[in-house]
Chains A and B, each alone.
Chain A
């Protein structure tokens, strides 16, 4: 069996499971944010009406609001807090950071476990060797909260092997964006995706993170990286809770094996309307942007902030560009302070925001008029997620975001390679 099958078999009390079977399995962690958590809590209290079975396994993170913009939202957050108190679940209030980063940094994500959540990017936790999937509100309210369980169809697994070394100024985010285009939206519907190969094995955990992140946008059920010594060392820095590493058997069966070489890859940009609309940066070069942002489920990592600072040190962003820096968690901001990155980026003209999900869906920031465009490290670029359905969202690496902010239009970060001498 592979990692997903072994975790599902163990959690459902079976010796073996096979693709296509429906199993009911014990869930280790439920992650909710202020928006999905609110919707789930209403179903749980108004329709299900049972006690919370394992409150210690449930965490709600307020990441769509770093601060409520009006009375309606303030009331919703107050209702969420009261819900958390009534049932004794963990609550991470405004300013804690992005749901997934907070989940990892507080020990809710451990190798070999089952992690579920309403956020569709929940599969990102497969980066730590978990079976991590997004479920709907009713799964959480009717099964996870009252029974600590959920139903799953055992997925078929596709092995995705990545090899090669990327060129300078090309990053794992470029590789992940490009891979989305290669697989295609809906290219892997209902499948489990094992991200492997020498390229993935060499990456550090926060860079591996960017691959299971794309699972949902190619239609997959879950994505994962086989846990190794890097995973163990990483998780040990986050939690003292014990965990059992689960790895795929050498004779595991895969529905398909897809191989890619990223050696010749250029920096990539995905323009609205979808993530699958990804092309080398040159295809969009010169397109004006008024907004730039590091943030969201995949962005706002220390790695992103360092990359932006490499490009922007001693420079000023273009007149008319607003550059939001949204740390993914409080420890990231603390480290950015220690490394002097806060000052470098402030002096370049960027604005620091509290740790949260940033402009993700423009719940508390990041709305645009129909003539505006943003370039960001966010995970999504669907029309209407940031104000006007006509507003444009370009996704790229932190290098590309920073280079574009400098020029006021989509720019190739390699222009700054060996020129400014800082990258």
Chain B
């Protein structure tokens, strides 16, 4: 699971309310995607290309646990989210809906907006192609890697419920 794309860089402590504004919570996911992160960088939703990579700082996706925030991000076509660390519910939701997420300490100091990044989910590596620097991500639980591999929680739910 390797992808290469432009880095879109955001800051620390971004709540889900800033990813999808709560007054848009009843819209369709593609409609939300057109306005995602609008208050922080209006150019992102307009110019993001499939395969691009979103980088953010500490406690990304805090606040509400609505999965519409990662769903709207996934609908923009981004290949992965790379953060210093994510809020718990956002982390869980990303794997449940099939959006690759890596927690990569030091990433915000190591990349600039517009750099080209390569993300290798399986190896847990992020490489800044613009500067040549490499960053190692925190390991992901094999259970969650398995969930990502089948495309999220829904395809594996019946088997999982049977095991419990």
Say whether A47 contacts B88, CB under 8 Å. no
Produce 1/0 per residue, A149-193, CB < 8 A to B: 101010000000000000000000000000000000110011000
Does B48 make an interface contact (CB < 8 A)? no
Say whether A143 contacts B157, CB under 8 Å. yes
**223-280 of chain A: CB within 8 A of chain B:** 273-274, 276
Say whether A143 contacts B13, CB under 8 Å. no
Q: How far is the CA of A36 from the CA of B65 in the complex (A)?
A: 9
- Which residues from chain A contact B152 at a C-beta distance below 8 Å? 138
The chain A residue with its CB closest to the CB of B69 is A136
Say whether A135 contacts B65, CB under 8 Å. yes
Produce 1/0 per residue, A389-408, CB < 8 A to B: 10000000000000000000
Q: How far is the CA of A147 from the CA of B159 in the complex (A)?
A: 11
Q: How far is the CA of A146 from the CA of B153 in the complex (A)?
A: 13
Contact check: which of A142, A189, A383 meets B157 at CB < 8 Å? A142
Q: Evaluate whether A186 and B97 lie within 8 angstroms (CB atoms) in the complex, with A146-B161, A382-B63 already known.
A: no
Say whether A151 contacts B21, CB under 8 Å. no
Say whether B88 contacts A219, CB under 8 Å. yes
Q: Is the interface of A mostly helix, strand, loop or mixed?
A: mixed
Q: Which of A38, A136, A141 has the most CB of B within 10 A?
A: A136
Chain B's interface size range is: 35 or more
- Which residues from chain B contact A216 at a C-beta distance below 8 Å? 62-63, 89
Interface residue stretch chosen among A20-28, A84-92, A102-110, A201-209 = A20-28
Q: Evaluate whether A118 and B88 lie within 8 angstroms (CB atoms) in the complex, with A146-B157, A384-B17 already known.
A: no
List residues of chain B with CB under 8 Å of any chain A CB: 13, 15, 17-18, 21-23, 25-26, 39, 58-59, 62-68, 85, 87-89, 92-93, 96-97, 141, 143, 152-154, 157-158, 160-161, 163-164
List residues of chain A with CB under 8 Å of any chain B CB: 12-13, 22-26, 35-36, 38-39, 43, 47-48, 72-73, 76, 118-120, 134-139, 141-143, 146-147, 149, 151, 153, 185-186, 189-190, 216-217, 219-221, 273-274, 276, 361-363, 380, 382-385, 389
